[in-house]
Structures are given as structure tokens and as C-alpha cells.
A and B are shown apart, each in its own frame.
Chain A
């Protein structure tokens, strides 16, 4: 297998994209799950505030999601732009 300069750069970009999105997906997945678990607990304790709690949960999860989106952006940049 002959390896050339441009080829090895492309190979590194592909590998980097996979690692970026793969590892970057771990944190938001766990974090959003924690938020959902706590939201269930809060609604169990105080069902009257379900609407407010759902809204708070979704906003919190959206913020937690941001690092996953950064990973996606970096992965797509590595795949298509760099």
C-alpha cells in the first residue's frame, strides 16, 4: 500500500471526523439523560407543574446538546471543507 502526502492528510481528516463525532456524542447523551431523569423525578413530586418542568428540561437539554453540535460541525468541516 503506497501512501502519498495528500492521501494521508485525507485519511487523517476522515479518522478525525469519526473520532470527533463519536467521542463528542458521549457527553451530551449522558448529560441529557440526567436532565430527563431529574425532570421525571420533579414531575413525580409535583405533577401540577408538568408543563413548566418539561419546558425547563428541554431548554437545559438544548444547552447540553450544543457540544454535540460542535462535534458535528467539526466532523462535517473535516469531511467536506478541509
Chain B
């Protein structure tokens, strides 16, 4: 079967668009479902303020929705991109873009649901701090969205950068790998960031006076939870911008694809783990504010250890790119 360049590029664009929206729909739907579920619990606990809870639920769900809206934008762009005169390599870039955005929206969508749900529960428990809870929910879920935004940036770069003067082999593998690296690594960071944000909304409702310490711990914890996604972004950038010499060998291509897969998968676990550590710390800073400093320290030590496997994955990726 011989497929000419134009057919192949269209095939890749349509497949990429389907993957972007199909995978991209998973996370936001789960996250919003969680928010709505907790909102129902909240209304049953305190039906008099159901209006406030309902409003907060919709705001929280709107933020969680944004991850899948990014996926929708990328999917529509892939469907209607002008592909006249495109070379085979463009097909690999478009497939990478679709996978990157689809995978990258999963974690952020689920994660953003946690602060939304906990803020609804918190409002039913402490209606007096409703404004603070909504503000904290918005800050927390906005940070959760960053891994999805990284994925969108990489997807847009893969779609609109000009790779036409690069050799097809092994650059195709570098471009697919670039998409997988950021897309997969974003899953863990998005989910982990959401765990920290959820715990902070719960904590503020329990101890409204701890709001300053809780928000600080949440932001520090979320920042550390973002690092695996940033490693993924770094590997993607290297794979997109480094010029690889032409090589017909299969091993040269597989080394680059493997580099993307390694960093992508390797970022998932540490992202979730860092989020769990941050969740534990935030929850107990709210309950025991006097020891906030100690809790922050232990959180950072625990996160640093949890981070180590992401660093191993990055080292193996960089060896695959630069040494072999």
C-alpha cells in the first residue's frame, strides 16, 4: 500500500483530532462529576444555602471544563488545518499534537474537580467563609490547569512549526515522542495539583483562621507537583528543537520515541505522589496551624524523595537523546 504525502497528512490530522477530543473528554467529565456529587452532599447537609452551593458548583465546573475546551480547540484546528503541500513529517507532528493534547487534558480535568467539590462541601459547613472558599477554589483549580496548558502549547507548536527541511527519519519519532512526553507527564501533575487544592478547600472550611497558611502550603505543594510536567515539557522542547542527523536505522528513531515515552510515563507517578504529600500537609496545616513550618518542611522532603523517579526517567530520556 502506497500512501502519498497529502493523504497521509490528512489521515494523521483526522486521527489526531479524534484522539485529542476523545481522550480530552475523560478528565473534565470525571472532575465535574465529582464536583456535582459533592455539591449534592452539600445541599443535603444545608439546604437553606442551596443557591450559593449551586453557584459555586457551576463556577468550579466551568474551570474544570477548560481542559477539555483546550482539547476541543486543538481537535477543531486539526480538522480544518490547511495542509496543502505538507510533507510526510507533518503527519507525525499532527499525530503527536493530538496525543499530547488528549492525554494532557486528563489529569487537569480530574484534578480541578477536587477543589470544586470540597469548596461546595465547605460552604455547606461554613457559609460565612463562602467567598474565601470560592477564591481559594479558583486559585487552586487555575494552578491545576497549567499541565493542560503546557500540553496545548506543545500541541500548537507541533501543529504550526515548520519541520519541512528536517530529515523524515528519525525526526518523525522525535515529534511523536515530544507529544507523548508532555501529554503523559501532564496527567500526574494535573491530578496531584488537584489533590492539594481539594485539601485546602476542606481545611479552610474546617479552620477559617488558617486560610493564609493553608493557601501558602497549597501553592508550594502544587508548584512542586508541577515539576514532572515541566520535565516533560523540557524533553518535548529538546525533541522538537534539536536537529537530528538523517539515519535510516530503526534504532535511531526508536531511541527518540522511547525518550518521549520514558519521560511521559515517568512523570505520572511522581506528579500524583507529590500531590498526595501536598494533600496530607495542607490538611494538617489547617488542623494544626501552630506547626505549619514543620509540616511544610516534611512535605518538601517527602516530595523530593517522590520526585527522584521522575529525575531517573529524565536522565534515561536525555541519555537516549544525546548519548546514543
Please give the residue numbers on chain A whose beta carbons come within 8 Å of chain B beta carbons, in ascending order: 1-3, 7-8, 10-15, 17-19, 21-41, 43-45, 47, 50, 53-54, 57-58, 61-62, 65, 68-69, 71-72, 75-76, 79
Query: Taking A14-B324, A30-B273 as contacts, is the C-beta distance between A40 and B313 under 8 angstroms?
Result: no
Taking a contact as CB atoms under 8 Å apart, the answer to whether A32 and B258 are in contact is: no
Query: Taking A22-B313, A36-B305, A39-B302 as contacts, is the C-beta distance between A11 and B248 under 8 angstroms?
Result: no
Q: Specify the chain A residue showing the minimal Cβ separation from B188.
A: A29
Which residues from B are CB-within-8-Å of A12?
A: 254
In addition to A14-B254, A14-B258, A24-B309, 16 A-B residue pairs with Cβ atoms within 8 Å of each other are: A7-B250, A17-B316, A18-B257, A18-B316, A19-B265, A22-B262, A25-B267, A28-B309, A29-B307, A33-B274, A36-B277, A41-B283, A44-B287, A50-B294, A61-B305, A65-B305
Report the Cα distance A58→B303, complex, angstroms.
11
Partner of A40, one of B273, B277, B306, B324: B277
Taking a contact as CB atoms under 8 Å apart, the answer to whether A27 and B316 are in contact is: no
Which residues from B are CB-within-8-Å of A47?
A: 288, 290-291, 294
- Closest chain A CB from B273 CB (angstroms): 2
| B255-288 residues at the A interface, CB under 8 angstroms | 255, 257-277, 279-281, 283-285, 287-288
- Closest chain B CB from A71 CB (angstroms): 7
Which residues from A are CB-within-8-Å of B277?
A: 33, 36-37, 40
Which residues from A are CB-within-8-Å of B310?
A: 25, 29
Report the Cα distance A71→B313, complex, angstroms.
9
In the complex, which range does the number of interface residues on chain B fall in?
35 or more
Query: Taking A14-B320, A18-B317, A22-B265 as contacts, is the C-beta distance between A68 and B306 under 8 angstroms?
Result: no
Taking a contact as CB atoms under 8 Å apart, the answer to whether B250 and A8 are in contact is: yes
Taking a contact as CB atoms under 8 Å apart, the answer to whether B284 and A41 are in contact is: yes
Taking a contact as CB atoms under 8 Å apart, the answer to whether B280 and A38 are in contact is: yes
Report the Cα distance A23→B270, complex, angstroms.
11
> Which DSSP category, helix, strand, loop or mixed, fits chain A's interface?
helix
**B165-179 Cβ-contact flags toward A at 8 Å (1 or 0):** 000010000000000
Report the Cα distance A58→B298, complex, angstroms.
10
Taking a contact as CB atoms under 8 Å apart, the answer to whether B305 and A22 are in contact is: no
Partner of B298, one of A15, A39, A45, A71: A39
Partner of A68, one of B248, B259, B290, B309: B309
Q: Specify the chain B residue showing the minimal Cβ separation from A53.
A: B298
Determine whether B308 belongs to the interface, using a CB cutoff of 8 Å to chain A.
yes
Which residues from A are CB-within-8-Å of B274?
A: 29, 33
